[in-house]
Structure 1
Amino acid sequence: MPVKLISPKQQMRAAQSFPFFSSIAILIPVLIPIWIAASIFVYAAVAHHPNDKVCAYLVPAGYRFYGVLGAWVVVLNFSSHLANMVGGALNLALLLWAISILVVVPLGVRDVLRAQRANWCEIEHQAE
């Protein structure tokens, strides 16, 4: 079997991909439906990375992003009642968006910067 070398930069980019694009999608809500679909492929690809350190960046970012979207589903199911409590549908949408930004973006930026500062070593992987 041929051996494939995975460079430190490739590993770093794989670790940074999910938190980076999740943060971008939350900041620009129009991109959320696109990122939901694309994130499934990114998550599956990175989850099977030969370096476990890459997966250590992926899992918490996935929990944050998918957790926020799961909370959106619950809140939006009760949006008619909750909108009255916060002063209207626009206020509810802005509040939901602000909370999502506070949960996903700062920790996503932290993960991207941590991955950039981490010590990555070249690894060999048995290609099939």
Structure 2
Amino acid sequence: MATKVITAKQQMRAAQSFPFFSSLAVIVPVLIPFWIAASIFAYCSIAHHPCNRVCQYLVPAGYRFYGLLGTWVVLLNFSSNLAGWVGGALNLALIIWGISVLIIVPLGIRDILRAKKEPWQDLTVETE
């Protein structure tokens, strides 16, 4: 059987990718529909990574991002009522966006920095 080496840098980048792109998508809301589609593929590919530590960074970032989107669905279903409470649809959108940034970005930056400090080692995997 052939072997493949997954370098320490590749593992670190895999661990950092989901929090990075989730943070970027929340900061630039136009990217959210694209990242929703791409995140499914990113999550699936990283979830089956041979290094368990990579998955330990992925799961909380995925829970945060997908939990936030689920909350958006609920909030947007009641947006007509909520907009009246906060003074209009624009105010509601800005409040939802601000809270989203506060949830995703600081924790994403924390995960990115933690992954950078992690002592990654090259991993040899047998391939078929």
1:81 aligns to what SS in structure 2?
A: helix
Q: What whole-Å deviation, never above 9, does each CA across 1:31-69 have from its counterpart, x for those lacking one? A: 000000000000000000000000000000000000111
CA distance in 2, matches of 1:44, 1:103: 23
Cα distance in 2 for residues equivalent to 1:68 and 1:95: 14
SS in 1 for 2:60: helix
Determine if the alignment matches structure 1 residue 63 to structure 2 residue 35. no
TM-score, length-scaled by structure 2: 0.99
After TM superposition, the runs of 4+ consecutive aligned structure 1 residues lying more than 4 A away are none
Aligned residue pairs, count: 128
Task: Give the equivalent residue in structure 2 for 1:7.
Answer: 7
Gaps of 5+ in 2: none
> Corresponding residue for 2:40?
40
Measure, in 1, the Cα distance between the counterparts of 2:41 and 2:126: 22
Aligned residue identity for 2:27: L
Provide the residue aligned with 2:102 in structure 1: 102
1: CA distance between counterparts of 2:85 and 2:126?
57
The alignment yields a C-alpha RMSD, in angstroms, of 0.5
Shift of 1:126: 1.4
**Secondary structure of 1:65's match?**
helix
Return the alpha-carbon distance in structure 2 between the equivalents of residues 42 and 48 of structure 1.
10
Calculate the TM-score normalised by the size of structure 1.
Answer: 0.99
Given the alignment of the two structures, is residue 77 of structure 1 paired with residue 77 of structure 2, yes or no? yes
Segments of 5+ residues of structure 1 without an aligned counterpart are none
The one-letter amino acid of 1:70's match is G
Percent identity of paired positions between Structure 1 and Structure 2: 66
